[in-house]
Amino acid sequence: MAEEAEGEEGAGGGDGGGSEEPECPECEICVPGLPGWMGTFSDLVTLLLTFFVLLLSFAKTESAKYEAALGSLRNTFGGNVLKHGEIIHRGKSADNAPTMIEAEQPVKPFPIDFLTMEGLLNKHEVNRESDEVLNVMKQDLREYSLTDNAEIYELPEGIKVRIKDRILFKKGSIKIQQISIEVFDRLVQLLRAKDWNIFVEGHASLGETSLDGKLDAFNLSSYRAAGVTRALIKRGVRPSKISTVFYGDTRLFRYNDGGQPDQVQSRRVEFLLRKTDLRTPGKKVESQ
């Protein structure tokens, strides 16, 4: 019995020793600073910002759009720019100072349809189309070696190219006196290959009449322009791309504005290139 009692005490002592709780593991030492994923996220945001800055650098800044928006704001808030020579201006403060910007010429507001989504996303808005036509025309002139023989003008309705080489005629006649065959052939090649419109303009010198006296300046200029038009058609230029006009002696050739007219250069036929024909129907508007 004594041995059994000792065995029970030994067993009880063993159970008491096994009930002790295990010690907690030590925590990892916290490293100071931001977590590692924050650096990767920052790099991603920086690269995205750089990408948008690159896109902005490739974008074309259109001064016409900026001025149009400025004019719209001025007109909306009742302000007006300062124009020399005028006394009364809308949108001035009590001390007679302009409330908006100062400029020599007022900025015109643009139509409200410019603010539509279609207008903002339209590829040919404002002056974009003119810029594209200008670049295409320069490329075509270089391709056919006509860069040195042409003068390019920007107009509100588009790009105009005037060929400097003119066809000159004998006095009182429709016979050619001077022509650059090489330039004329290159011009024909361009018109046959590219989609451009050509205006053939006939002229005459002051008071010019035919040798027999039957034709006046208008008739002479019309016959000269018609003869050149027939030559273009005969060489393969599409008739639908040719507009033939004549001015008689109303537009004499002058080297300088206001200078004396050159009678020899006035007896001429000139060439004008345009992307859009003036007879092309535009947007119809109400007459009232």
CATH code at position 270: 3.30.1330.60
Cβ distance 200 to 242 under 8 Å? yes
Residue 112 counted as domain residue: yes
Question: Does the pLDDT at position 235 exceed 90?
Answer: yes
d(CA 239, CA 236) in angstroms, rounded, equals: 9
Name the most confidently modeled range: 22-31, 97-106, 165-174, 257-266: 165-174
Q: Are residues 113 and 135 in the same domain?
A: no
Domain boundary among 102, 121, 140: 121
Cβ distance 160 to 152 under 8 Å? yes
Q: Are residues 234 and 260 in the same domain?
A: yes
Q: Are residues 146 and 249 in the same domain?
A: yes
Cα dihedral 153, 261, 223, 208 in deg (nearest 10): 170
Choose between 245 and 54: higher pLDDT.
245
Q: Are residues 115 and 146 in the same domain?
A: no
pLDDT of residue 200: 94
What is the CB neighbour count within 10 angstroms for residue 263?
A: 16
Tell me, yes or no, if the pTM score tops 0.85: no
Q: Are residues 197 and 86 in the same domain?
A: no
Residue 77 counted as domain residue: yes
Residue 11 counted as domain residue: no
* Crossing angle of helices 181-193 and 128-143, rounded to 10°: 130
Q: Are residues 114 and 190 in the same domain?
A: no
Q: Which domain holds residue 71?
A: 65-121
Least confident of 125-139, 219-233, 247-261: 125-139
Least confident of 121-125, 137-141, 185-189, 260-264: 121-125
Q: Are residues 139 and 223 in the same domain?
A: yes
Split into its structural domains, the chain has a count of 2
